[in-house]
Amino acid sequence: MKCNFIQSAKMSLKIIKAGILDTIQDVGRTGYRHLGINPSGAMDRFSAQLSNALLGKGLEEPVIEMHFPASTFLFQKTTIACLAGADFSATINEQNIPLHQPFLVKENSILKFTGLVGGAHCYLSLLPGVQVDEWLQSASTNLKAAAGGWNGRRLQKDDCIPYAGQIDVPELSTKESFRILHWKASSPKIDKNISVIEGNEWDWLTLEAQISFQDSNFSISNLSDRMGYRLYGEELITEKNAQLVSSAVDFGTIQLLPNGQLIILMADHQTTGGYPRNRNTWNNCEMPVN
């Protein structure tokens, strides 16, 4: 199938029901941490990039990041789209559609998500893309600064996000709402073991706390957000009680809070921190913390 880009009147993707926290994201905002500006970007970078790759787009192109319950979308123009990441039981006009496989979708069709099967973040990529605001060379939404993405905020009901252009696509029959295209990617396997690198303050923990950190289960607190996942588990005790000078932190840094609990920094993390740290090796895919 050959698709030709046409520069003509732009149509929109309309949000007819808002999700819990759906935003425009890309691979993040780099080069500004020395100014205290956090990088933002997709929480699951691999899946965000996969949704673009399956459409033949640049990996850095902006996508819609969704949490469950996710938004309901109305396609106002026939286009090609792809979903990747978490499985939210996606349907178009009540018919199931797969993850990690592009589909041609007819105008006036409705995409919605009916149930959480697994994962945390689902990504929607459109061909040729969406026309959104850039801030400091990135389209990622920075919620704290209210900049980038779609008006610097989460997507809301009645938002109409313009397509970046139009594509010439084959006609669908009157009976078809969509057509699944023939290329796809296998669903990535998720290793439930999380690898970590000992941080400079690892030896501050007692031996019992080190063993507990490695062998215990932790729950994600409802106080978590895109800045960090607060974990709840057995209190970790330190042998050393000292103040740290703030130093650079990154996506995946694990910090020990004064109450003995942990926080794992996420995409909207601050640029520096002063809590004892470990560093996990995950920063590009879903992290299944139990």
Does the structure show a pLDDT above 60 at 278?
yes
Q: What's the pLDDT score for residue 209? A: 94
Handedness of CA 238, 257, 252, 219 (dihedral sign): positive
Angstrom distance (rounded) from CA 285 to CA 85: 9
Q: What's the pLDDT score for residue 70? A: 98
Average model confidence (pLDDT) across the chain:
88
pLDDT in tens, 211-232: 999 999 999 999 898 999 999 9
DSSP letter at 263 equals: E
What DSSP letter does each residue of 214-230 carry, written as one string? HHS--EE-TT--SSEEE
Angstrom distance (rounded) from CA 288 to CA 202: 23
Burial of 240 (0-12, 13-18, 19+ CB in 10 A): exposed
Domain boundaries, the chain: 4-180, 196-280
- 192: its two tokens: 């439930």
Task: Give the count of beta carbons closer than 10 Å to the beta carbon of residue 29.
Answer: 23
pLDDT in tens, 240-263: 777 777 778 889 999 999 899 999
Read off the pTM.
0.88
Strand partners of residue 109:
75
**Contact in structure between 192 and 32 (CB atoms under 8 Å):** no
Angstrom distance (rounded) from CA 125 to CA 184: 14
Where does the pLDDT of residue 176 fall: very low under 50, low under 70, confident under 90, or very high at 90 and above?
Answer: confident
In this structure, CATH architecture of domain 196-280: Beta Barrel (2.40)
Q: Region 44-62: what's the mean pLDDT?
A: 96
Q: What's the pLDDT score for residue 92? A: 97
Q: What's the pLDDT score for residue 277? A: 67
Angstrom distance (rounded) from CA 23 to CA 6: 27
Where does the pLDDT of residue 4 fall: very low under 50, low under 70, confident under 90, or very high at 90 and above?
Answer: very low
Angstrom distance (rounded) from CA 108 to CA 248: 47
